[in-house]
């Protein structure tokens, strides 16, 4: 999962290098992000149920190998644009496969008999840290190499290939946690499992999920572009720095999410949405003032929102999932989170109508409504008059 997260996000800090060195247009860059989602969401929704029925190991480790193949295609993309599209599509498929099956696998390996000493929240925390660490280190390493190394659009990708090679062997040795079911039972499985129809998933988890990735995508894809004129020649390095800072905070805050949810289930979601709201407001101020130093604390708030919403959302999913539905419900949750990666596209279109800072403030206003709705849904319903 760490390796796939690295491969999925390393491209984000290299996009500016492609624009500067290869003349890649903004429209093509947006399309390459869209192709990633085109591979990811179907893979999530199809392979999650298959993982529940057939097992975790083959899908997760296969995703790791596919992530390495995607990076090879991206390396070839320096010479032919079509390979960038192929690489991004394969990276999306790898992410969809790894995040649904892998999260469920980590959860199931974090209980007895595999790990009798782990606490109840260990599975969600470990999965979130693995993904977040990969998301953060990938763009940091790739961006810094692209800024200063020779042959940047080759050298920047080599660390990921090394990571993939290192993790596949121990991954293949790990025990599977699912007994394969007969073919007819696999065929009868639905993508929308009953656990996804519960009120708590519909009213609390679903509206919170997209903001998981709205937060980091605004931090390292939107804000650096809006203040690019203030960064001089350090644009690629700053994009890498903001990605690493945002996701490092996202990792460090995750144990706090566990403590919040121990006090009251769902409290971590409320805290994450509130932190994201504050981060959007501060990012709007940074853009309005053209201040890159002010963008850094905004990134930290957005990273806090990302980490809290991701861990708390996974804890909710693991509590709500019925037996045999964990990977399927996890897949639906991740599919909803990746809606948030459309934020940079929506913001780019809205910038034609209003100033960048106003767009971010408008996003904060929308989030305030979501936060109020989720908080209302979490309140325990009052019994009707005359009932016990």
**In tens digits, what is the pLDDT along the chain, a chain of 388 residues?**
999 999 998 988 787 778 777 777 767 877 787 788 888 888 988 888 888 888 899 999 999 999 999 999 999 998 889 999 999 999 999 999 998 899 989 988 998 788 888 887 788 888 888 988 898 889 889 988 988 888 888 999 999 999 999 999 999 999 988 877 765 455 455 567 889 999 999 999 999 999 998 998 898 778 888 887 777 767 777 877 887 888 889 888 888 877 887 778 888 999 999 999 999 999 999 999 988 889 999 999 999 999 999 989 999 998 998 888 888 898 899 889 988 888 887 888 898 899 999 999 999 999 999 999 999 999 875 544 444 4
In angstroms, the CA 96 to CA 112 distance is 27
Q: Calculate the alpha carbon distances from 139 to 161, 177, 337 in Å.
A: 14, 32, 20
For tokens 């007895």, the residue is 112
In angstroms, the CA 241 to CA 303 distance is 13
DSSP code of residue 324: T
In angstroms, the CA 11 to CA 94 distance is 14
The answer to whether the beta carbons of residues 268 and 260 sit under 8 Å apart is yes
What number does CATH give the domain 2-173+189-378? 1.20.1250.20
Radius of gyration of the chain (CA): 20
Torsion of CA 159, 63, 6, 164, to 10 degrees: -20
Alpha helices in the chain (DSSP H): 2-22, 26-54, 57-76, 81-109, 122-148, 152-155, 158-173, 183-187, 199-200, 206-208, 211-217, 223-226, 235-252, 254-263, 267-289, 292-320, 326-337, 343-350, 356-378
In angstroms, the CA 27 to CA 25 distance is 5
């Amino acid at each position: 999962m760490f390796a796939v997260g690295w491969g999925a996000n390393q491209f984000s800090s290299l996009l500016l290098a492609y624009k500067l060195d290869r003349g890649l247009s903004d429209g093509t860059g947006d399309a390459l992000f869209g192709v990633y989602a085109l591979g990811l969401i179907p893979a999530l929704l199809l392979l999650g149920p298959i993982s529940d029925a057939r097992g975790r190991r083959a899908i997760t480790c296969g995703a790791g190998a596919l992530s390495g193949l995607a990076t090879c295609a991206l390396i070839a993309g320096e010479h032919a644009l079509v390979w960038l599209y192929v690489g991004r599509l394969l990276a999306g498929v790898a992410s969809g496969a790894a995040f649904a099956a892998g999260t469920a696998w980590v959860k199931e390996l974090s209980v007895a008999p595999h790990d009798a000493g782990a606490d109840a929240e260990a599975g969600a925390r470990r999965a979130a840290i693995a993904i977040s660490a990969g998301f953060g280190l990938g763009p940091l390493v790739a961006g810094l190499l692209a800024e200063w190394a020779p042959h940047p659009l080759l050298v920047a990708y080599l660390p990921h290939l090394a990571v993939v090679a290192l993790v596949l062997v121990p991954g293949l040795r790990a025990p599977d946690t699912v007994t394969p079911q007969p073919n007819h039972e696999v065929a009868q499985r639905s993508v929308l499992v009953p656990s996804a129809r519960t009120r708590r998933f519909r009213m609390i988890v679903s509206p919170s999920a997209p903001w998981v990735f709205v937060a980091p995508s605004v931090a390292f894809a939107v804000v650096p572009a809006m203040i690019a004129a203030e960064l001089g020649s350090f644009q690629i390095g700053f994009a890498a720095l903001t990605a690493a800072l945002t996701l490092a905070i996202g990792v460090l805050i995750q144990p706090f999410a566990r403590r919040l949810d121990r006090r009251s289930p769902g409290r971590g979601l409320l805290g994450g949405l509130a932190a994201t709201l504050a981060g959007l407001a501060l990012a709007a101020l940074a853009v309005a003032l053209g201040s890159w130093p002010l963008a850094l604390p905004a990134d930290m708030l957005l990273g806090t929102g990302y980490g809290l919403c991701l861990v708390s959302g996974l804890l909710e999913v693991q509590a709500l999932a019925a037996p045999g539905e964990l990977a399927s419900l996890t897949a639906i949750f991740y599919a909803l989170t990746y809606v948030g990666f459309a934020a940079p596209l929506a913001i780019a279109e809205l910038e034609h109508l209003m100033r960048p800072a106003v767009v971010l403030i408008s996003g904060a206003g929308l989030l305030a409504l979501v936060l109020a709705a989720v908080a209302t849904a979490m309140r325990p319903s009052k019994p009707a008059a005359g009932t016990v």
